[in-house]
């Protein structure tokens, strides 16, 4: 989606002026594209009005933008600054539960706090490693448990390959 999106809307100003229907068509292959399209336009408008069209590199300012929560703010700061943040997506959450790293977390925000407290440093690297591991090895459906280097720690071994 992003190459076509960035070609059509190369900056916040052009995205802020986007036609909602056209934007929806452009991103309709992603989940929740109706809400995402609305939030993309609102976010771009806020960037133009409050930040001179530039993405702020402050967690609270990022979270104040439409459609931006903790995970997205952390991903932006990880990618832009190499910040020491965890960003809990579906892969990180699933792996953390399977490896019994979480005690009370029921939602990603709680998992973020627990993992950050548990590991403390190099969270950005851990985040990236867990995403790759979750995409290709510890998948939601048909995980590759056989030969997994963490299988002895997994509480949900399926031993499927």
Q: Do 143 and 98 reside in the same domain of the chain?
A: yes
- Torsion, Cα of 114, 115, 118, 120 (10° steps): -120
Can you tell me the distance from the alpha carbon of 22 to that of 20, in angstroms, rounded to the nearest whole number?
6
pLDDT (tens digit, 9 = 90+) per residue, 58-101? 999 999 999 999 999 999 999 999 999 999 999 999 999 999 99
Instruction: Report the catalytic residues.
Output: 71, 89
In a domain, 117, yes or no: yes
Whether 84 maps to a domain, the answer reads no
Residue 93, token pair as written in the block: 């959450």
* CB-CB contact of 111 with 93 (8 Å): yes
pTM over 0.75: yes
pLDDT of 41 higher than 50? yes
Range of the domain at 125: 90-153
Q: What is the CATH number of the domain that holds 38?
A: 1.10.340.30
The helix or strand, by DSSP H or E, that contains position 70, with its residue range, turns out to be helix 70-81
């Amino acid at each position: 989606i992003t190459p076509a999106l960035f070609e059509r809307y190369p900056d916040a100003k052009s995205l802020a002026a986007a036609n909602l229907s056209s934007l929806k068509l452009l991103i309709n292959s992603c989940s929740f594209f109706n809400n995402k399209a609305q939030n993309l336009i609102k976010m771009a408008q806020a960037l133009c009005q409050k930040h001179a069209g530039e993405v702020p590199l402050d967690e609270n300012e990022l979270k104040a933008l439409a459609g931006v929560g903790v995970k997205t703010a952390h991903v932006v700061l990880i990618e832009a600054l190499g910040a020491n943040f965890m960003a809990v997506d579906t892969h990180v959450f699933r792996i953390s539960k399977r490896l019994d790293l979480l005690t009370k977390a029921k939602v990603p925000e709680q998992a973020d706090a627990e993992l950050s407290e548990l590991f403390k440093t190099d969270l950005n690297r851990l985040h990236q490693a867990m995403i790759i591991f979750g995409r290709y090895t510890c998948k939601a459906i048909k995980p590759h448990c056989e030969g997994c280097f963490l299988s002895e720690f997994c509480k949900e071994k399926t031993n499927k390959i």
